[in-house]
Amino acid sequence: MSAGPRFSPDGTLLATIGSGKTYPMTARLYEFKTGRLVHEFKGTSNALAVAFSPDGKTVATGHIDPQSMSSGPGDSIYLWDVASGREIRHFESGHRMSVSLTFSPDGRIIASGGYEGGVRLWETVSGQERRNYDGHRWWVNSVDFAPDGRRLVSASTDGTALIWRIFDPAAGAAPDLAALWADLLRPGTGGHDAIGKLIAANGAVAFLSERLKPAVAPSDEQIAPLDRRTGRSEIRRP
């Protein structure tokens, strides 16, 4: 399970889950060296799981509706900003109880497991479901990515551990690259499937290089209105 405690990647912070004098159970962030409470991530229901993003800037927490075992508003995954303690977003998980969470090595995907709903992948920036794996017969109480991010392992109280591909292998026929490029705009599973097919397709690198260009630095004329609006006398360029 991911109930904690969990160290931040740099080892300076410690995330825990527990209850105080009243419910719901909350995730708390402490400065490890001093034991000082930094933030408390409350959400709307009991927290059961916690995980840090690879860059240490985000904490994810998994929750349950404390009033029932049915899916509902409390059946959620929350993302929190470590610096400010503020909620970034939350979305319903469909697990009834989200008891295991982990980030992919690049931080772009969150894997979750729980009481039901199999193993699910979520896009970090949008909260959209990217993929759903079904194979365990009972609770999924542990999930973890391989170091290269191409595989995911899940363990269950049914006594099994299963390994999943993040993207399926390439099909026999050559894909339509232009159609896959358009499919990247599709939400959730559609966009995820298109990414996997582009990764496996021959000629995809040359195809994408023609369409993906380096970002252009903003001009002084574009920056000036923002500079005046924020009251800053200087904006650093990359």
Q: In sequence order, which ranges of the chain are alpha helices (DSSP H)?
A: 177-183, 189-200, 204-209, 220-230
Contact 25, 50 (CB under 8 A): no
Question: Once rounded to an integer, what is the mean pLDDT over residues 175-187?
Answer: 71
**pLDDT score, position 50:** 92
Query: What 3-state DSSP class applies to 198?
Result: helix
* Parent domain of 208: 167-238
- Is the same domain home to 21 and 126? yes
Whether the predicted pLDDT of 179 surpasses 80: no
- Is the same domain home to 175 and 151? no
- Is the same domain home to 114 and 215? no
Whether the predicted pLDDT of 103 surpasses 90: yes
- What's the whole-number average pLDDT of the chain? 80
- Is the same domain home to 109 and 174? no
Overall pTM > 0.85? no
* Domain total of the chain: 2
- Is the same domain home to 96 and 181? no
